[in-house]
Amino acid sequence: MSEFLQYTVIGIVAGAVYAITATGLVVTYTTTGIFNFAQGAVGMVAAFAFWQLWQGWGWNPVLALALVLLVLMPLLAVLVEWGLMRRLHGASTERSLMVTLGLLLILVGVATALWNPQTQRIVYPFFEGDFVGILGVNVSYQQLLTVGAAVVIAVAVPYFLRVFRIGVAMRAVVDDPDLVALAGAKPYRVAQMGWMLGFFLAGLAGCLLAPTVASTGLNIDTLTILVVNGYAAAVVGRLRSLPWTFAGAMALGLAGAYSLAYLSEHVPQSLAAQIPEIVPVVFLFIALLVVPAVRLRAIGRLPTHAAPRVAGFRQSLLGGAVLVIAVALLSLVLGGSLMAAITSGLALGIVALSLVLLTGYGGQVSLCQMTFLGVGAFTMGKVANGGGSWWGLLAAVGVTGALGAFVALPALRLRGLYLALATLAFGEAAFYVLFQNPSYLGTGNSIAVGRLDIPGLRTVGDKGELIEIAVFFALCAIIVLAVRRHTFGRRLVAMNDSPAAFATLGMSATRTKVVVFALAAAMAGLGGVLYGGAQGGLNGSDVQLEFLSSLTLLLFVAIWGLRTTTGALLGGLSATLLPFAQTQLPSGLSGLTGLVAGVGIILLGRSPEGVLGFPGLSGRIRLPFADDPPPSVRPPAAAGSGSDVASSVEEGRIGVA
Amino acid sequence: MSPEPAAAQRVREPVLEVRGITVRFGGVAALTDVSLAVSPGQVTGLIGPNGAGKTTLFNVISGLQRPDHGRVSIDGRDVTDLGPHRRARLGLARTFQRLELFGTLSASDNVRVGIESGNRRQRAAVLGALATDGQSAAVALLERVGVGAVANDPVGALPTGSARLVELARALSIDPRVLLLDEPCSGLDDNETGQLGTLLRDLATEGRAVVLVEHDMDVVLKVCDLVHVLDFGEVIASGTPAEIKAAPAVQAAYLGAELPDVVTPAAPSPATPGPAAPVDGATR
């Protein structure tokens, strides 16, 4: 009995933290229409800042807490709203998703730069760990404070929204900011308020959480990813209802605690260790299953920008040939870790190509594409037994394709944000159940993956491997472009542009979605086989398997151009070359990836088609910061009759979709 | 009025029937017990003030909105439980009041998606009647509605009027037997409106049933064989354009709105030719 009560207390305290952060998510979402994927990262920054003031500089903890929550968080919120979010008015769900993902990377990058991850930082429990006995269970004041804060938040936030009528104005802002402006309210003021409240709550959750991870010290990734729990709770509230969000958070907290208490003995040892991570993911998945299916609706929104031109067959063939020749020439002078980074970058480029197909053309956001990379490499390793047989390749492509079709099932009901969350849950589940599980991967939690047996290439070694992967990338790019030019590609784009018109023309989105998910997953699986071969194997703790990597790759492709094969090439290379460059820099200059991502997403705010779609690059020369007209549809005549320089740029950019 | 030809048409089996449709949004009734039938070879007008429920009715017919009560049938087959894509395969096509074009595709690709989405019969009808391959069939359809010149333009760049016509061409790409048009004339100039009116009559002559939601009363009175008036979600009057214009209920609903002089509807010839109407540049 006392064990039960003990775990109940643990569950309620965990639920309280989830409730606070999830309330922040819901408030920001209902007031701005943007789901802040960076909520956990914001809490992480708050926790670190709190540590810095309190333990680092020896401030009074109450003063430190007040400064972090009441000054730093609101300031950060205002900055983010002004610098990143304000441009997103009217942007698609996918784009605002990318920008908050980018914010996550920036915050992680900044934190990495400011607080060296090698140092251990411990936030001591508040009240020096004092506790009080309740019903025979020792409850610390820290835990009481956490639950008390959650209760106050649960009562105060709805009251605050109602009494100050901010809630009403906030809701109006989501529906139509222009109308609110006409009615005399300042839409961005209301949005600012939404962000400030959201950041405050994220910070509060982060600071309350900080002492509970005292045993290991503050960890950037752990704190950032803890927000998955917040997502799950917010989904229970359908991103709208605060009471349901609160209930969801409590249910999740208790489910986690009870599973830890009573489930550990009944599952295999290897799985038991992962219970704290798996429970929220499963919870999120179930919550998503009961989200009502998206209703087909005429929305009457036309994209305000033109899509990049699609290269013809000859042009894509030529582009592929140029790439392979360029890589072959490069391989003569390259070597060492730079060449290794380029080799795996090209393999990731193939995964990036799958994102062009799936997200760029089809508009289906996937945050688990790196899972297919891992499964592809894993299958190859198992089937070919560490060798490089073509049967292994076929098996890997087949298995990932089938898995992709399975992941498409939630996509039949969900769209945009919910779909992204579902793929995230899948990727996380796969990470903990498969890749972190020695009983699958084998000793050392790794599996050997051989390079493909291509006669003649074996003798060339690493350079041969590089050229081989370049050939595969070129082939995949040609396939992606060919798909886009044909019936299925048109259908994919149509489904993305207007689901309502798509259906009323007699097409079922079911088949299209299943096929594109399977195709993209198979392509990512192929990338995984090549990646594994290049690495000589797959390690369960490979950073590429973590969900942040799926997200980083997607973001990099989006920054370069999510609807271009060149964007996939540059995106894949960015994902490995930036970390490589990082290792070459003095250690004080860490966080480079976050910095580049930051600049990238600010660009993305200006040019929805990414860097490659930036006006000066896409057939029409304009001053980089000319604001008028907005990044809009390229006049049809300009495409062909632009200046000679412009069209030669276009020609020179061979292989650009 | 001269009802004979119209009456002869009216006895043909309706191709589309809605019975007792009721739709509520929260406490607000958008449609209350709406029933009407649409016959092939006719242009049926659906008019009413803003918010009368016209677009909601289109959404119910095309399957985007589930009615709370009532049934929809196409060719006598109950389709109330079918999704929009199944209804399209039975020959139902529509355009949208707020444009729903495939914004990142060219005008001709918009139409091509439609052609490629049709079932074998629909595709054969469109390709057979117009050309051999999808691309030229798409261009031919765009030419038919009068926007052949913009075939290669991205639709996001088109003015509203042209964009509406591209939507019409796309709706025609599945060789519809029932064509629902939601305010096709807004954004068109007088000349284009006149040409569109002629085209709609031609489409009816081919044996299609055209249902027209339109605010431009000139067009409605000129083109339609039969007009239903919706007000606050209810059908308050039905009849020929002449009858509608005379009905007191309509005048009340349109209080202050001046109805133009009655124009005799361009009566379809009694011997309506079958669906095999030649494609000519009639509207150009």
Q: Is B243 on the interface with A (CB under 8 A)?
A: no
Nearest CA in chain A to B160: A302
**A621 band by pLDDT with thresholds 50, 70 and 90:** very low
**Any domain includes A22:** yes
Among A49, A224, A227, smallest CA distance to A121 is for A49
- Which residue's structure tokens are 């030229």? B136
A250: pLDDT strictly greater than 60: yes
**Whether residues A409 and A495 fall in one domain:** yes
Q: Is A296 on the interface with B (CB under 8 A)?
A: yes
Q: What is the pLDDT of residues A190-229, one digit of tens each?
A: 788 889 999 999 999 988 888 776 556 677 777 776 777 8
Contact A507 B85 (CB under 8 A): yes
Contact A299 B98 (CB under 8 A): yes
Residue A22 and residue A227: Cα distance in Å, rounded?
8
Nearest CA in chain B to A304: B156
Judged by average pLDDT, the poorest of A81-90, A158-167, B61-70, B110-119 is A158-167
**Whether residues A103 and A243 fall in one domain:** yes
Which chain B residues have a beta carbon less than 8 Å from that of A496?
104
Q: What is the pLDDT of residue A614?
A: 66
Q: What is the pLDDT of residue A171?
A: 57
Q: Is A497 on the interface with B (CB under 8 A)?
A: yes
Which chain A residues have a beta carbon less than 8 Å from that of B163?
302
Q: What is the pLDDT of residues B123-149, one digit of tens each?
A: 888 877 665 688 889 999 999 999 999
- Domain limit, last residue, from A234, A260, A289: A289
H or E stretch including A374?
Answer: helix A369-383
**Any domain includes A185:** yes
- Domain limit, last residue, from A566, A584, A602: A584
Q: Is A304 on the interface with B (CB under 8 A)?
A: yes
Average pLDDT over residues A102-123: 80
A255: pLDDT strictly greater than 80: yes
Average pLDDT over residues B65-92: 93
**A165 band by pLDDT with thresholds 50, 70 and 90:** low
Q: What is the pLDDT of residue A203?
A: 92
**Whether residues A273 and A365 fall in one domain:** no
Q: What is the pLDDT of residue A418?
A: 84
**A168 band by pLDDT with thresholds 50, 70 and 90:** low
Q: What is the pLDDT of residue A546?
A: 79
Average pLDDT over residues B41-64: 92
Q: Are B108 and B32 in contact (CB under 8 A)?
A: no
Q: Are A41 and A103 in contact (CB under 8 A)?
A: yes
Token couple for A127: 């009240």
Query: Which residues of A320-441 form beta strands (DSSP E)?
Result: none
Mutate to test the interface with B, among A356, A505, A562 (most CBs of B within 10 A): A505
Q: What is the pLDDT of residue A178?
A: 62
Residue of A171 and A444 predicted with greater confidence: A444
**Whether residues A374 and A488 fall in one domain:** yes
Token couple for A167: 């809630």
**Any domain includes A641:** no
Q: Is B59 on the interface with A (CB under 8 A)?
A: yes
Range of the domain at A233: 2-289
B43: pLDDT strictly greater than 90: yes
Q: What is the pLDDT of residue A299?
A: 62
Q: Is A507 on the interface with B (CB under 8 A)?
A: yes
CA dihedral A552, A554, A559, A563 (to 10 degrees): 170
Judged by average pLDDT, the poorest of A2-6, A495-499, B51-55, B168-172 is A2-6
Axis crossing angle, helix A141-163 with helix A242-258, rounded to the nearest 10: 160
B235: pLDDT strictly greater than 50: yes
**A106 band by pLDDT with thresholds 50, 70 and 90:** confident
Measured in angstroms, the CA of A612 and the nearest CA of chain B are apart by 16
**Whether residues A149 and A93 fall in one domain:** yes
Nearest CA in chain B to A491: B113
CATH 3.40.50.300, chain B: domain bounds: 1-91+177-272
DSSP state of A263: I
pLDDT exceeding 70 applies to what percent of chain B? 83
Q: Is B67 on the interface with A (CB under 8 A)?
A: no
Average pLDDT over residues B4-24: 74
**Whether residues A508 and A430 fall in one domain:** yes
Residue of A432 and A378 predicted with greater confidence: A378
**Any domain includes A217:** yes
Bridge partners, B230 (sequence order): B235
Nearest CA in chain B to A563: B104
B109: pLDDT strictly greater than 90: yes
Token couple for B206: 């081919």
Q: What is the pLDDT of residue A220?
A: 73
**A400 band by pLDDT with thresholds 50, 70 and 90:** very high
**A578 band by pLDDT with thresholds 50, 70 and 90:** confident
A462: pLDDT strictly greater than 80: yes
**Whether residues A247 and A359 fall in one domain:** no
**Any domain includes A319:** no
Q: What is the pLDDT of residue A490?
A: 94
Token couple for B157: 């760049």
- Domain limit, last residue, from A569, A584, A599: A584
Q: What is the pLDDT of residue A587?
A: 61
Structural domains in chain A (count) = 2
Q: What is the pLDDT of residue A625?
A: 29
B280: pLDDT strictly greater than 60: no
Measured between CB atoms, which of A302, A507, A636 is closest to B152?
A636
Contact B85 A503 (CB under 8 A): yes
**Whether residues A281 and A345 fall in one domain:** no
Q: What is the pLDDT of residues B191-234, one digit of tens each?
A: 999 999 999 999 999 999 999 999 888 889 899 999 999 988 99
Judged by average pLDDT, the poorest of A196-210, A520-534, A575-589 is A575-589
The whole-chain average pLDDT of chain A stands at 81
Cα dihedral A628, A631, A635, A641 sign = positive
Count of CB pairs separated by less than 8 Å, A with B: 122
**Whether residues A264 and A348 fall in one domain:** no
Judged by average pLDDT, the poorest of A174-178, A383-387, A634-638, B143-147 is A634-638
Q: Are B136 and B108 in contact (CB under 8 A)?
A: no
Measured between CB atoms, which of A300, A508, A636 is closest to B99?
A300
**Whether residues A426 and A570 fall in one domain:** yes
Q: What is the pLDDT of residue A606?
A: 67
**Any domain includes A620:** no
The whole-chain average pLDDT of chain B stands at 83
Looking at CATH, the fold of the domain delimited by B1-91+177-272 is given as Rossmann fold (3.40.50)
Token couple for A255: 């489910």
A127: pLDDT strictly greater than 80: no
Query: Which residues of chain B form beta strands (DSSP E)?
Result: 16-25, 28-38, 43-47, 69-74, 77-78, 92-94, 178-182, 209-213, 226-231, 234-239
Residue B52 CA, chain-centre distance (Å), reads 17
Assign residue A177 the CATH number of its domain. Answer: 1.10.3470
Residue B190 and residue B211: Cα distance in Å, rounded?
21
Q: What is the pLDDT of residue A504?
A: 93
CB atoms within 10 A of CB A329: 10
pLDDT exceeding 90 applies to what percent of chain A? 31
Residue of B17 and A122 predicted with greater confidence: B17
- B214 by Cβ neighbours in 10 Å (0-12 / 13-18 / 19+) ranks as buried
Considering A219-233, A273-287, A608-622, the range whose residues carry the highest mean pLDDT is A273-287
Q: What is the pLDDT of residue A115?
A: 82
**A623 band by pLDDT with thresholds 50, 70 and 90:** very low
**Whether residues A86 and A206 fall in one domain:** yes
Measured in angstroms, the CA of A180 and the nearest CA of chain B are apart by 22
Considering B33-47, B110-124, B248-262, the range whose residues carry the highest mean pLDDT is B33-47
**Whether residues A241 and A379 fall in one domain:** no
A647: pLDDT strictly greater than 80: no
Residue of A139 and B162 predicted with greater confidence: B162
A101: pLDDT strictly greater than 90: no
**Any domain includes A83:** yes
Q: What is the pLDDT of residue A287?
A: 85
pLDDT exceeding 70 applies to what percent of chain A? 83
A611: pLDDT strictly greater than 60: yes
**B1 band by pLDDT with thresholds 50, 70 and 90:** very low
Measure CA of the first residue to CA of the last residue in chain A; give whole Å.
64
Which chain A residues have a beta carbon less than 8 Å from that of B84?
296, 500, 503-504
A543: pLDDT strictly greater than 90: no
ipTM for the predicted complex: 0.84
Q: What is the pLDDT of residue A628?
A: 31
B5: pLDDT strictly greater than 60: no
Q: What is the pLDDT of residue A422?
A: 87
A642: pLDDT strictly greater than 50: no
Nearest CA in chain A to B175: A505
Q: Are A460 and A480 in contact (CB under 8 A)?
A: no
Q: What is the pLDDT of residue A111?
A: 85
HSE (CB half, 13 Å, CA atoms) of A7? 15
**Any domain includes A534:** yes
Q: Is A455 on the interface with B (CB under 8 A)?
A: no
H or E stretch including A133?
Answer: strand A131-134
Residue of A471 and A276 predicted with greater confidence: A471
B270: pLDDT strictly greater than 50: no
Average pLDDT over residues A635-648: 33
Measured between CB atoms, which of A297, A299, A307 is closest to B104?
A307
Q: What is the pLDDT of residues B141-185, one digit of tens each?
A: 999 999 999 999 888 888 889 999 999 999 999 999 999 999 999
A169: pLDDT strictly greater than 80: no
**A107 band by pLDDT with thresholds 50, 70 and 90:** confident
